[in-house]
């Protein structure tokens, strides 16, 4: 992902060495809402796998 720099009141792509007081940033690929959505899906899937596996392992 590209890194941007804000210096002298202008934002540009950060290339090469940057001054110490420059503001560097790179927007996140995903928002917290997307991360929560993905994590909740993974949580549900993981739970169902655990339950299924325990059911098989404890079957008599």
CB of 16 to other proteins, least distance (A): 9
For residue 32, the surrounding DSSP H or E stretch is: helix 32-57
DSSP helix/strand/coil, 2? coil
Contact 32, 40 (CB under 8 A): no
The answer to the question of residue 41 lying near other proteins (CB under 8 A) is no
The answer to the question of residue 39 lying near other proteins (CB under 8 A) is yes
Q: How far apart are CA 18 and CA 7, in angstroms?
A: 9
* Interface with other proteins (CB under 8 A): 1, 3, 6-7, 9-11, 14, 17-18, 20-33, 35-36, 39, 42-43, 46-47, 49-50, 53-54, 56-58, 60
């Amino acid at each position: 992902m590209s890194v941007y720099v804000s210096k002298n009141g202008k934002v540009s792509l950060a290339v090469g060495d940057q001054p110490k007081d420059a503001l560097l940033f790179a927007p996140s690929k995903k928002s917290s809402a997307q991360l929560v959505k993905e994590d909740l899906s993974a949580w549900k899937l993981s739970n169902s796998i655990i339950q299924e596996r325990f059911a098989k392992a404890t079957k008599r």
